[in-house]
Each structure stands twice: as structure tokens, then as C-alpha cells.
């Protein structure tokens, strides 16, 4: 339970842009369709739009269309008259009427059965509802918000969702970013979840736990983060460490080396495969496409990665290492790293971090850069055991 209900946590660029849209549309009575992966906060945003609207003091009624059996959904939404069916022992207002003058939030709208879609369309078009078994219609004044994690346009193409209903629902569209696109919000959210719980008061997040949180791809988004943080907090004493989290993470991550950043994982995937398309990188790294794309764009700009189009498909590969005569400018620290590697014959991230007095994450980054410029070569081992040696004849000292 959150101490501040409906507070939307995060100040990443992606989240702020979405919040700004939500605030603007809240001032109107346009229907809003909120899309985004499961657990990204669609219901929270719906509540936020209502709270920011002129209807804030009026009812906010939410219904999960996927949770109510199809045969009950109609009566639930439109209400019914006594005797309309067996079990209808008295008149009952439907959710449309209960939300009157306020907001009705149709969650998981993509799961609404087709016959009911037609009825909803009629209600939205005509602004009136007829309870099951009633002769008369009731006028409505309801603002409609809806949400789905499904691709309604694709569903319409597959004839599973009515296109005309999409137009009615989508007066304005808000697409929520996946958690993996929200950068440091992940740690902010994790802290907020711990703080909001009396039973976990005082439990902190160690550095390695934060690094792991940032490195994980969060297929279940904020809901998954919340579950995992709270489960890890049960095992922790004062601080949550990476191993507490790792125990509860369902998907593979290089837990041995949580400092492996998206860039490092891109480099390692390209080292293994030669060249890959964006979609291959996405499935290997289990990281959202926009995140990988953002990194790839700057890696191409920095000359670490090359881009080519083969049979209409864009492929990415590690850029050719520098050859003699085209000597990259290394920083002093990078030169020290090369010298240390030469001295030891082979070096790991941990050894480099210790020798230079830097964090493992920074050491990893420096090693990746040195691999990308052709100064060092990896020895093929993974995680904490990964070692690097000097790439002979590739680099001249400055
Ligand atoms: N930015 C945020 N700040 C604080 N809490 C958040 C945020 N985003 C999501 N949450 C919390 O994460 C949980 C999941 O959010 P919510 O139920 O709104 O997601 P959803 O997108 O509607 O999921 P689904 O599609 O599975 O129904 C909720 O407990 C919600 O309060």
C-alpha cells in the first residue's frame, strides 16, 4: 500500500513527457486511450487524469474488462431491471450510471468480447444506456478513459476489435514508456516502495543492488519491480544486496556481473555474432528496442559500431579496430589500463577496478571502450571471469 495514493514517481525524460500529456488532456473531457506494457502504470495514469480533471470530486469507477466473465460484463456495465434474468432480484445501476458526472475507466479494453464492443459503441455514440431488461434509456454524462496492453490496430486488422470503437475511445492517446526506458526512475521507485511500507522501514538499497536494478530489463515493469523489491526486503537485514534481488528475478541476467551495462551487452553480443539487426539484439538482451536503439545511435556516432544495410535490413557490427596509422587518443586512465594489462598478461574488471581505485562499473566501461578501439581483446569468458589481453599490433602508444 502506498502512503501517498496515486502519486506517480519518476522524473525521467520519458515519464515527464507522458505526465505532461496526461495533465493537458485532463483539462478536457476527451476520451483517452492509455496504452503500454503490462505493469507500466496505466491504471495509475487513468486515476491521475481523473484527479487532475474538473471531475476530480465526482466518482471514478474502474472496471477490468478481462476480469469479469463475458456473460456478466454487460449487466455489470449497463445495469439491469428486476426480473431481467434469474438472480436479478432487484434493479441495479450499471457502472456507466455509477460513474455518472465522473469518469469510467475501462481497463483491459482489448479483452472485451466483440458483441459487447458493439453495445459499448452504441452507448458512446448516443450518450445513453439501456439497462438489461429495461424499456427506457438513461442519459449519461460520463468521461471515458480506457487502457490496454494490446495492439488494438493489429486486433482490428485481425477483426478482433472494432475499428470504429477505437476511434470512439481514442480521442487522445497516451503511450506509457516501459520501465526500462525510465533510467534512474527504477531506483527512485524501488526506494519509494520500501519507504511506503512500515514493515520495511529503514531498509536501504546497496550500490550493487542499484546497479542490478538498472541493468535488469523488467519485462513486468513497475509491478514486477514492486514485487521483487518487497520480496528481497524480506530476506534483507538492513540493506538489500544484489544477491537478495537475484534470488527473486525470474529471468536470466548476468548477476555475477550486474555492472554489465546495455552497451557492454551490445558489444558482447556483436562480438559473438559478427553482425545483428536491432530485433535480434532486442531478443538477446531482453531490453526494450528504444533503449538499445538509443545506445546504438551513440555507439555509431562514436565510431564503436558500424551500421550497414543488407537486403533491406539494417545490421550493426563492431567497427573495425583501429589500425596502425590511425591511433585512437586514449585517456590517461585508459593508457594505464593497457599498461597494467600488458604487465599482467591478462586482466579482469575486478582487478582493473582494484588497481586503479575505480568502481567495477567504470572499469567495465573502460575495458569495453578499449575493446571497441582495438586496444584490448576479450578472452571469451563471461561475467566476473571475463578477462582481457592486449591486442598486439593494433595500437601504438601515444
Ligand atoms: N510511476 C509510478 N509511480 C508509482 N507507482 C507506480 C508507477 N507506475 C506504476 N506504479 C505502481 O505499479 C503497479 C502497477 O501499475 P498499474 O496497475 O497502474 O499498471 P497497469 O499498466 O495498469 O498494469 P496492467 O496492464 O497489468 O493492468 C501499481 O501498484 C502502481 O501503483
Domains along the chain? 13-175 (3.40.50.300), 180-248 (1.10.8.60), 262-318 (1.10.10.10), 332-390 (1.10.10.10)
CA angle, 288 then 216 then 378, to 5°: 95
How far, in Å, is the centroid of ligand 1 from the Cα of 348?
A: 40
Does pLDDT of 392 surpass 90? no
Residue with cell 450518450: 127
* Residue predicted with more confidence, 182 or 262: 182
Interval 250-259: pLDDT, tens: 654 554 455 4
Interval 194-243: pLDDT, tens: 999 999 988 999 988 998 898 888 888 999 999 999 999 999 989 999 88
pLDDT, position 389: 86
Give the Cβ contact number of residue 243 at 10 Å: 15
145 Cβ partners below 8 Å, 6+ apart? 31, 32, 34, 46, 49, 50, 103, 104, 105, 106
Q: Which of 181, 243, 174, 166 is nearest to 212 (CA)?
A: 243
Residue with cell 562514436: 302
Interval 148-173: pLDDT, tens: 999 999 999 999 999 999 999 999 99
Q: How far apart are CA 31 and CA 24, in angstroms?
A: 13
148 Cβ inside 6 Å of ligand 1: no
**Which stretches within 274-359 are classed as H helix?**
278-285, 289-301, 332-344, 349-356
Query: If you average pLDDT over residues 43-63, what whole number do you get?
Result: 97
Tell me the three cell numbers of residue 374. Answer: 582495438
Q: Mean pLDDT of all residues in the chain? A: 86
43 Cβ inside 6 Å of ligand 1: yes
Interval 73-100: pLDDT, tens: 889 999 998 888 888 888 889 999 999 9
pLDDT, position 30: 96
- In this structure, which residue's CA is closest to atom 26 in ligand 1? 38
pTM above 0.80, yes or no: no
Task: With cut-offs at 50, 70 and 90, classify the pLDDT of residue 397.
Answer: very low
How far, in Å, is the centroid of ligand 1 from the Cα of 38?
A: 8
Task: With cut-offs at 50, 70 and 90, classify the pLDDT of residue 4.
Answer: very low
How far, in Å, is the centroid of ligand 1 from the Cα of 221?
A: 8
Q: Which of 276, 274, 310 is nearest to 293 (CA)?
A: 276
191 Cβ inside 6 Å of ligand 1: no
222 Cβ inside 6 Å of ligand 1: yes
How far, in Å, is the centroid of ligand 1 from the Cα of 293?
A: 25
Tell me the three cell numbers of residue 119. Answer: 453495445
Does pLDDT of 2 surpass 60? no
279-285 contacts, C-beta under 8 A, 24 or more apart: 281/316, 285/217
Give the Cβ contact number of residue 118 at 10 Å: 12
pLDDT, position 344: 87
42 Cβ inside 6 Å of ligand 1: yes
- In this structure, which residue's CA is closest to atom 15 in ligand 1? 41
| Cβ burial, residue 341 (10 Å; 0-12/13-18/19+) | buried
- In this structure, which residue's CA is closest to atom 25 in ligand 1? 38
Tell me the three cell numbers of residue 208. Answer: 550493487
Amino acid at each position: 500500500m502506498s502512503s501517498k495514493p496515486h502519486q506517480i514517481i519518476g522524473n525521467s525524460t520519458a515519464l515527464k513527457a507522458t505526465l505532461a500529456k496526461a495533465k493537458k488532456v485532463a483539462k478536457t473531457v476527451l476520451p483517452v486511450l492509455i496504452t503500454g506494457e503490462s505493469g507500466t502504470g496505466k491504471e495509475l495514469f487513468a486515476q491521475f487524469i481523473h484527479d487532475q480533471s474538473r471531475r476530480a470530486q465526482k466518482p471514478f469507477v474502474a472496471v477490468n474488462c478481462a476480469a469479469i466473465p463475458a456473460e456478466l460484463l454487460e449487466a455489470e456495465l449497463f445495469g439491469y431491471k428486476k426480473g431481467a434474468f434469474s438472480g436479478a432480484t432487484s434493479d441495479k445501476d450499471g457502472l456507466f450510471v455509477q460513474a455518472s458526472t465522473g469518469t469510467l475507466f475501462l481497463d483491459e479494453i482489448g479483452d472485451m468480447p466483440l458483441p459487447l464492443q458493439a453495445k459499448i459503441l452504441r452507448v458512446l455514440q448516443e450518450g445513453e444506456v439501456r439497462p438489461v431488461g429495461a424499456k427506457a434509456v438513461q442519459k449519461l454524462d460520463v468521461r471515458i478513459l480506457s487502457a490496454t496492453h494490446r495492439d488494438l490496430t493489429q486486433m482490428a486488422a485481425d477483426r478482433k476489435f472494432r475499428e470504429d470503437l477505437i476511434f470512439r475511445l481514442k480521442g487522445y492517446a497516451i503511450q506509457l514508456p516501459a520501465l526500462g526506458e525510465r533510467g534512474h526512475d527504477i531506483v527512485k521507485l524501488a526506494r519509494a516502495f520500501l519507504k511506503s511500507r512500515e514493515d520495511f522501514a529503514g531498509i536501504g538499497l546497496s550500490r550493487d543492488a542499484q546497479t542490478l536494478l538498472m541493468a535488469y530489463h523488467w519485462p513486468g515493469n513497475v509491478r514486477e519491480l514492486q514485487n521483487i523489491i518487497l520480496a528481497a526486503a524480506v530476506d534483507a537485514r538492513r540493506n538489500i544486496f544484489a544477491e537478495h534481488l537475484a534470488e527473486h528475478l525470474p529471468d536470466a541476467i548476468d548477476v555475477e556481473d550486474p555492472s554489465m551495462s546495455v552497451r557492454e551487452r551490445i558489444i558482447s553480443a556483436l562480438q559473438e555474432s559478427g553482425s545483428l539487426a536491432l530485433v535480434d539484439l532486442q531478443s538477446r538482451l531482453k531490453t526494450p528496442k528504444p533503449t538499445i536503439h538509443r545506445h546504438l545511435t551513440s555507439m555509431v556516432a562514436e565510431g564503436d559500431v558500424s551500421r550497414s544495410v543488407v537486403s533491406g535490413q539494417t545490421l550493426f557490427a563492431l567497427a573495425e579496430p583501429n589500425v596502425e596509422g590511425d591511433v585512437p587518443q586514449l585517456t590517461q586512465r585508459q593508457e594505464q589500463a593497457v599498461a597494467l594489462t600488458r604487465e599482467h598478461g591478462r586482466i579482469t574488471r575486478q582487478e582493473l577496478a582494484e588497481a586503479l581505485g575505480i568502481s567495477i562499473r567504470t572499469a567495465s566501461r573502460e575495458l569495453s571502450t578499449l575493446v571497441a578501439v582495438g586496444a584490448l581483446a576479450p578472452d571469451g569468458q563471461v561475467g566476473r571471469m571475463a578477462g582481457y589481453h592486449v591486442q598486439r599490433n593494433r595500437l601504438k602508444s601515444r
